[in-house]
């Protein structure tokens, strides 16, 4: 009992299948074959019991299919990884070259900065070279593995057909033997009943002209034929199984195992190469950024690190070199100071003095006042040859001064109703001269923007940042613009449609960026009696928001909602989107819509209905560069118009 048979049917010990531990004695390049001595005897017996059973071939084919699928997927990974690295290297090289060329233009810095930038560009080109070499290696690995997988797949299909066909042949032979046995057993039972005289049941009866002896003889002949056929089929099944167990199955098992080992080994080798090449790539790029400093190789110059290259930039020296390079320019010499030279004729007329004395100036001012105190039919015309006045003398102004009323100009009437009483008449004998001090800007003038520092800027600052800084849900500039327009501009025709003065808008913008709390729009003089400039200032604030009032995040959703044809569904969809806006955006939008609703309520006077207001505010509130194309302009207008028409369905008016 030393030899144990692992397969069906008796077989001599010499026909036992070979051990699966060694797989095959034929070695192929790149495939590691484990010797039989490496595995314990118990493990080898367990492997043989499974591999050389009826499920062994199908089990190995499934395992080989898994190996092929894994190798094919890893080949695809290597190919895509190589493409990514190649694109990165090419982009890095292109960027390095383009910036290197741009750095040598005259509008860029030169001196030490230019030299360091050249070295940085060369360093990035070396990094790109490492990436290109890495990508080429990965491409080659992917091609090799793909080719190997194709060869393994062809072997798998071949042995699948050979191994399974042999297994199927044995199964068919054994099934045929079982069928012959069933027929043989049935005829033998019938013959036994006829022979013993049992007449109960049975397929065959004593019908017809044949006697009992003849029936017995016929059944005996059939039993003998069935026995011979059964014996032949059993022998054929045994022979087929013996051939399968001793020859065909071991060949299929060994060759499939060989294919599995080749596929797994090839995959492992490529993975090891991938790890090695990745380490070389990182090491090469690291050495480019931070070279080894412990000596040079064969006297070669040690490369500078990226940090050292950047540290060698001397900003102060570059600045001095640039300035000194213009030292010999003609304009570098300081020009002579301009001196005032009085014309000889004027000097003679004033008694030889270079400038009017304070006493003479005072005398002239008194003479003017005395001449005006006498009754005159009309204001005297200015003389045709008035003597020139110096910087400290008084001047004749073409408009009434703010501190002294005049009868030379009618009172200014703003283009909108104001709450103040009728203008008072100026006294008949008011002096026409004022001191040459900085005058207050009056209505209708074009002030220059004041040079005020932006201590608390509001323009160009997001609503969230303003809310966190000022602790007000709605920016102060918005509230004050609403206040001025509702006091003085509700009945102004074309409000928000007509443009204001650019100088006025820039002046008020500087005031708000300096300190919003100091701006008082309840006084029309604060905005130069120009309510359209206040409206323009408000729209400019919304245009300069980094994130539009309706936000970039919900832009496309508002546009999609505008496409809804049903008015109720469109309103409800926009209502839901408005509720999702950030707190600062929601509070500002709510106050703006309630304000614009007041504007459209006065549309009979100002000609600004909901449609006209929407045209003015669509791109301003949605964002002109919010990512949509010009075709969205109509849908932006529809968003604003829908909200204005449904003001009190979306917002409360508390």
Nearest-angstrom CA–CA distance, 223 and 391: 148
What is the predicted pLDDT for the residue at 593? Answer: 96
Confidence (pLDDT) at 300: 55
- Output the six-digit token pair for 335: 């020009």
Average pLDDT rounded to a whole number, residues 76-86: 93
Residue 611, pLDDT > 90, answer yes
- Residue 652 contacts residue 587 (beta carbons within 8 Å): no
Reported as a single tens digit per residue, the pLDDT across 421-464 is 333 433 333 333 333 333 334 334 445 555 678 888 999 999 99
Instruction: Confirm if 636 and 619 have CB atoms less than 8 A apart.
Output: yes
Burial class (CB in 10 A: 0-12, 13-18, 19+), 536: buried
pLDDT band at 534 (very low <50, low <70, confident <90, very high): very high
The 10 Å CB-count burial string (b at 16+, else e) for 304-330 is bbbeebeeebeeeebeeeeeeeeeeee
Query: Does pLDDT of 20 surpass 50?
Result: no
CATH code 1.10.555.10 region(s) in the chain: 463-649
* CA–centroid distance for 618 within its chain: 26
CB 518 within 8 A of CB 511: yes
Looking at every residue in the chain, the average pLDDT score rounds to 77
Can you tell me the distance from the alpha carbon of 349 to that of 356, in angstroms, rounded to the nearest whole number?
Answer: 11
**pLDDT value for 411:** 43
Query: What DSSP designation does 523 have?
Result: S
Of 151-160, 285-294, 311-320, 612-621, the one with minimum mean pLDDT is: 285-294
CATH 2.60.40.420 at 45-196+214-289, yes or no:
no
Residue pointed to by tokens 């699966």: 20
Cα–Cα dist 498/127, whole Å:
59
Cβ-count burial 40-52 (b if 16+ within 10 Å, e if not): eeeebeebbeebb
624 or 389, which is more confident: 624
Where are any strands of DSSP class E within 433-568? 433-434
Check whether 360 has a pLDDT greater than 60: no
Residue 530 has pLDDT above 90, yes or no: yes
Number of C-beta neighbours around residue 633 at 10 A: 15
Statement: the pTM of the whole predicted model exceeds 0.85: no
Q: What is the pLDDT of residues 116-137, one digit of tens each?
A: 888 888 888 889 998 999 999 9
Question: What average pLDDT score do residues 523-543 get?
Answer: 94
Q: Can you give the length of the chain in residues?
A: 654
Mean pLDDT, to the nearest integer, of 259-264? 92
Residue 653: pLDDT band by 50, 70, 90 thresholds?
A: low
Distance CA 517, CA 525 (A): 17
Percent of the chain with pLDDT over 90: 39
Cα–Cα distances in Å, from 427 out to 135, 407, 421, 432?
93, 7, 18, 12
Higher pLDDT, 280 or 361: 280
Structural contact between residues 523 and 487, judged by C-beta atoms closer than 8 angstroms: no
pLDDT mean over 238-257: 83
Question: How far apart are alpha carbons 5 and 53 in whole angstroms?
Answer: 11
Would you report the helix, strand and coil content of the chain in percent, each value rounded to 5?
60, 0, 40
Q: How far apart are CA 288 and CA 127, in angstroms?
A: 7
Which residue in 368, 156, 145, 83 sits closest to 271, CA to CA?
A: 145
Residue 579 has pLDDT above 60, yes or no: yes
Residue 274 to residue 277: CA distance in whole angstroms: 5
What is 484-515 written as a DSSP string?
Answer: HHHHH-TT-TTTTTS---HHHHHHHHHHHHH-
Q: Say if CB 617 and CB 598 are below 8 A apart.
A: no
pLDDT for the residue numbered 616: 94
* pLDDT recorded at residue 404: 36
User: Tell me, what's the pLDDT at 167?
Assistant: 81
What residues does CATH 1.20.1270.60 cover in the chain? 45-196+214-289
Q: Does domain 463-649 have CATH number 1.10.579.10?
A: no
């Amino acid at each position: 009992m030393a030899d144990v048979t692992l397969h069906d049917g008796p077989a001599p010990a010499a026909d036992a299948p070979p051990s699966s531990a060694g797989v095959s004695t034929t070695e192929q390049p790149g495939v590691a074959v484990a010797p039989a001595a490496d595995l314990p005897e118990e493990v080898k017996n367990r492997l043989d019991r499974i591999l050389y059973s009826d499920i062994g071939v199908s089990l190995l084919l499934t395992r080989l299919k898994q190996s092929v699928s894994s190798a094919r997927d890893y080949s695809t990974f290597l190919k895509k990884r190589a493409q990514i690295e190649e694109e990165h290297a090419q982009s890095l090289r292109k960027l390095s070259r383009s910036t290197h060329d741009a750095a040598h233009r005259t509008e860029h810095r030169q001196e030490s900065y230019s030299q360091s930038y050249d070295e940085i560009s060369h360093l990035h080109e070396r990094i790109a070279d490492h990436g290109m070499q890495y990508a080429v290696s990965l491409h080659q690995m992917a091609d090799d593995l793909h080719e190997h997988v194709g060869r393994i797949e062809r072997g798998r299909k071949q042995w699948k057909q050979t191994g399974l066909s042999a297994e199927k042949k044995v199964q068919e032979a054994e099934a045929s033997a079982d069928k012959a046995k069933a027929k043989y057993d049935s005829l033998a039972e019938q013959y036994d009943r006829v022979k013993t005289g049992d007449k109960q049941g049975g397929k065959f009866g004593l019908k017809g002209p044949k006697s009992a002896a003849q029936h017995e003889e016929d059944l005996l002949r059939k039993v003998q034929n069935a026995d011979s056929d059964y014996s032949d089929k059993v022998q054929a099944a045994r022979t087929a199984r013996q051939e399968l167990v001793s020859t065909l199955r071991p060949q299929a098992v060994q060759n499939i195992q060989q294919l599995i080992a080749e596929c797994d080994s090839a995959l492992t080798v490529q993975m090891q190469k991938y790890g090695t090449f990745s380490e070389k790539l990182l090491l090469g790029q690291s050495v480019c950024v931070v070279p080894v400093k412990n000596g040079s190789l064969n006297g070669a110059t040690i490369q500078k690190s990226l940090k050292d290259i950047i540290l060698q930039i001397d900003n102060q020296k570059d600045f001095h070199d640039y300035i000194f390079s213009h030292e010999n320019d003609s304009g570098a010499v300081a020009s002579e100071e301009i001196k005032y030279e009085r014309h000889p004729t004027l000097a003679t007329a004033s008694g030889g003095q270079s400038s009017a004395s304070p006493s003479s100036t005072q005398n002239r001012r008194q003479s003017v006042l005395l001449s005006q105190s006498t009754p005159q039919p009309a204001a005297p015309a200015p003389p045709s040859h008035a003597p020139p006045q110096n910087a400290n003398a008084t001047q004749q102004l073409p408009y009434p001064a703010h501190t002294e009323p005049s009868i030379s100009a009618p009172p200014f009437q703003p283009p909108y109703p104001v709450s103040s009483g009728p203008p008072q008449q100026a006294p008949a004998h008011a002096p026409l001269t004022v001191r040459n001090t900085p005058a207050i800007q009056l209505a209708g003038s074009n002030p220059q923007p004041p040079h005020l520092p932006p201590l608390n800027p509001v323009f160009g600052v997001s609503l969230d940042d303003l809310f966190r800084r000022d602790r007000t849900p709605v920016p102060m500039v918005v509230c004050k613009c609403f206040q001025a327009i509702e006091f003085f501009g509700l009945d102004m025709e074309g409000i928000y449609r007509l443009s204001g003065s650019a100088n006025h808008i820039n002046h008020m913008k500087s005031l708000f960026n300096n300190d919003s709390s100091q701006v008082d729009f309840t006084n029309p003089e604060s905005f130069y009696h120009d309510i359209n400039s206040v409206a323009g200032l408000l729209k400019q604030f919304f245009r300069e928001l980094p994130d539009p009032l309706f936000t970039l995040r919900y832009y496309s959703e508002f546009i999609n909602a505008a496409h809804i044809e049903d008015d109720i569904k469109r309103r409800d969809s926009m209502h839901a989107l408005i509720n999702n806006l950030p707190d600062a955006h929601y509070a500002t939008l709510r106050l703006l819509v309630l304000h614009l609703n007041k504007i459209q309520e006065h549309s009979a006077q100002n000609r600004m209905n909901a449609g006209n207001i929407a045209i003015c505010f669509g791109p301003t509130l949605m964002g002109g560069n919010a990512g949509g194309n010009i075709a969205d302009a109509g849908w932006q207008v529809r968003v604003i118009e829908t909200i204005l028409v449904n003001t009190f369905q979306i917002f409360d008016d508390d």
